[in-house]
Structure 1
């Protein structure tokens, strides 16, 4: 046999062997299955009613105002805590203020309408404005919510008493002044859990 024939036969045998080995790797049983999964995030929806807490004219030192409003969880997730931030602006009618009007407005957080004399926490608007919201949550909202938060679909009353402090001194600089207060309630979820 000549060398060309031997080489051709050898190459043909090698090709045949490789094709059998390659073809064998594709011969197997197979099966597949699919799963469908849904991840739907819940919602946090803290509603405050009424949205305007207080609108009072002609205040004088010594005046007090009690207002109550509802905190309602209208979302699908329980609210673990509420952080309240305070912002206000003072309009100085005469331009003669040497003190912050917010230092003369005291805020008392009360338990509910049945126990109006039971103060949870007392401070001034000026102190609230600079306070860490976590501190207010611990001192006001945890006692109101019994440290359980605000479950979905539930309503809780928040009663607040505002006092224009009569400090027994000359407070004429505040005559005609006004203070615009904004409270922002930020709801946070409860801790996540394995489900």
Structure 2
């Protein structure tokens, strides 16, 4: 009789346990959603790196140079901004405050044989440096075809390149000092102008993907 009671008790406990467990249990299924997000690579190469390396310049001298910019990244480039900076040194290499950059005018002539359209064209190095410092560096890929003919064409698509032709001219200012009769530009003789053009590629605005 005791054995039967014991078995009955165990059975009742197990039964209660199963009922209780069933009260809190529910069918369940867990799935995961994953994704890979890879940032695009914005990469611009310039060839050659050194464009102007000339000495013994005199007022009136002008130089035409061309260089190639290539989109070697995997996203289209909207703009290529040209930031201008320079320093002036004397014949011994010592920095001086004389603004020799005001005596050189820069013209961005063509990009892939198309005239470059920019309100900042034909400015002096000094003016271009001021634009850079104010955050308004010119875009050297804005040319006629992309402004009016094919306005939606990327400025510099993936694997594309542009050949840029640039002119730098030493301004021939014939103003003289009224007292001595000497040209005002005489004060620039023997000075060195170390110019650096930094090209910055920028992306198109983000879009719904």
User: TM-score normalised to the size of structure 1?
Assistant: 0.78
The Cα of 1:22 is off from its aligned counterpart by: 4.9
- Is residue 183 from structure 1 mapped to residue 181 from structure 2 by the alignment? no
How far, CA to CA, are the matches of 1:74 and 1:150 in structure 2? 10
Q: 1:52 to 1:149 in 2, by over 3 A?
A: same
How far, CA to CA, are the matches of 2:74 and 2:24 in structure 1? 51
- Mean Cα deviation higher: 75-84 or 24-33: 24-33
Alignment correspondent of 2:123: 123
Q: 1:86 to 1:135 in 2, by over 3 A?
A: closer
Structure 2 residue runs of 5 or longer lacking an equivalent are 1-12, 148-153, 176-182
RMSD of aligned alpha carbons: 2.9
- Is residue 104 from structure 1 mapped to residue 103 from structure 2 by the alignment? yes
Q: Deviations over 1:11-35 (max 9, x none)?
A: xxxx99x967752343222222233
Q: 1:22 to 1:67 in 2, by over 3 A?
A: farther
- Answer whether contact 2:102 2:126 (CA < 8 A) is retained: yes
Question: 1:30-45 residue pairs with structure 2 within 5 A?
Answer: 30-45=28-43
Question: 1:84-163 residue pairs with structure 2 within 5 A?
Answer: 84-93=82-91, 99-112=98-111, 121-131=121-131, 132-134=134-136, 136-137=138-139, 140-143=140-143, 146=146, 148-163=154-169
- Mean Cα deviation higher: 51-60 or 170-179: 170-179
Match of 2:199, SS? strand
Structure 1 residue runs of 5 or longer lacking an equivalent are 1-14
- Matched residue pairs, number? 177
Alignment correspondent of 1:11: none
Question: 1:3-42 residue pairs with structure 2 within 5 A?
Answer: 22-42=20-40
Q: 1:189 to 1:145 in 2, by over 3 A?
A: farther
- Answer whether contact 1:65 1:161 (CA < 8 A) is retained: yes
How far, CA to CA, are the matches of 1:86 and 1:135 in structure 2? 8
The Cα of 1:99 is off from its aligned counterpart by: 4.6
Alignment correspondent of 2:3: none
The Cα of 1:86 is off from its aligned counterpart by: 0.9
- Is residue 164 from structure 1 mapped to residue 164 from structure 2 by the alignment? no
Match of 1:141, SS? coil
